[in-house]
């Protein structure tokens, strides 16, 4: 019993601190003329497993994570655990990272203006990937559905956190933007049963919608535009700070 208590205390004190140390902040993009004449490539990293979260599970995780709001506690779990919890639905769902990559590259190809049309690699690349061109990388950090937010109540829905990064051929960071999507912020919440009915039809629809909102946030930020379709609760700006403290780099 004493050992369990000590382990819990260590978790509560050490893990958030280590996660906070590893946080990375968004970086505003400053356009360089050289970009207009160099090849551009869009890539993605492997998409993590989707977490199927019940009310009891979210309550436990929220308690362990000092009950930070916004579904933040779900971002603490490992990818292996998420894959196990969402195993029944994994093969039925689209690859969210590939959805984001496809929608972003398609939009950039149509609306690029003076930007070069990007080459696209649909297969996931390895960590610390580099190439002899300007890269735009997409990293999905967490996917979850079900009961997401104990503290705010009625937190049924879908959650995704995605980071976009632009790097020069030498690896220097040009731009970084993170976006957290939550169904509840768009009044699109559904229960586990609703999401999983008919082979996950509503969950697939929600993932498509979430990918569109994610791409709109990334593209608008990259183009220096003000986001006009902001969620009721902007987790990227407010609750996102709590998420970053929980270690999403």
User: Does residue 22 carry a pLDDT above 50?
Assistant: no
Q: How far is CA 101 from CA 120, 170, 212, in A?
A: 8, 22, 10
Q: Which residue has the higher pLDDT, 152 or 199?
A: 199
Token match 């819990």: residue? 8
Phi/psi of residue 27, nearest 5 degrees:
-130, 125
Mean pLDDT, range 102-111, rounded to an integer: 91
User: Does residue 11 carry a pLDDT above 60?
Assistant: no
pLDDT band at 239, cuts 50/70/90?
A: very low
| Range with lowest mean pLDDT among 71-80, 168-177, 203-212, 219-228 | 71-80
User: Does residue 9 carry a pLDDT above 80?
Assistant: no
Q: Is the pTM of this model over 0.85?
A: no
pLDDT digits (tens, 9 = 90+) for 118-152: 899 999 999 888 888 999 999 999 898 888 764 55
Average pLDDT of the chain to the nearest whole number: 75
User: Does residue 177 carry a pLDDT above 80?
Assistant: yes
So what's the pLDDT on residue 30? 77
**Please, which residues have CB within 8 angstroms of residue 152's CB and are 6 or more apart in sequence?**
69, 70, 184
Q: Which residue has the higher pLDDT, 221 or 54?
A: 221
So what's the pLDDT on residue 103? 96
Q: Which of 123, 168, 152 is nearest to 29 (CA)?
A: 168
| Range with lowest mean pLDDT among 13-22, 65-74, 209-218, 225-234 | 13-22
So what's the pLDDT on residue 81? 67
Q: Which residue has the higher pLDDT, 220 or 2?
A: 220
């Amino acid at each position: 019993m004493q050992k369990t208590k000590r382990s819990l205390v260590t978790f509560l004190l050490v893990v958030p601190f280590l996660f906070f140390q590893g946080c990375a902040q968004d970086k505003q993009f400053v356009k360089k003329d050289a970009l207009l004449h160099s090849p551009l490539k869009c890539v993605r990293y492997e998409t993590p497993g989707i977490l199927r979260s019940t009310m009891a599970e979210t309550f436990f995780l929220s308690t362990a994570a000092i009950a930070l709001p916004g579904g933040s506690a779900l971002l603490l779990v490992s990818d292996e655990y998420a894959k196990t919890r969402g195993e029944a639905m994994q093969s039925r769902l689209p690859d969210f990272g590939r959805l984001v990559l496809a929608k972003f590259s398609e939009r950039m190809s149509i609306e690029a203006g003076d930007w070069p049309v990007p080459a696209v690699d649909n297969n996931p690349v390895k960590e610390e990937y580099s190439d002899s061109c300007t890269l735009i990388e997409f990293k999905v950090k967490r996917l979850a559905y079900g009961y997401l937010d104990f503290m705010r109540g009625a937190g049924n829905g879908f959650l995704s956190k995605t980071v976009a990064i632009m790097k020069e051929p030498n690896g220097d960071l040009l731009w970084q933007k993170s976006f957290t999507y939550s169904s509840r912020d768009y009044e699109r919440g559904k229960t586990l049963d609703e999401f999983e009915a008919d082979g996950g039809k509503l969950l697939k629809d929600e993932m498509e919608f979430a990918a569109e909102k994610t791409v709109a946030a990334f593209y608008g930020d990259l183009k220096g535009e003000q986001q006009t379709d902001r969620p009721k609760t902007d987790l990227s700006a407010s609750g996102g700070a709590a998420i970053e403290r929980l270690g999403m780099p």
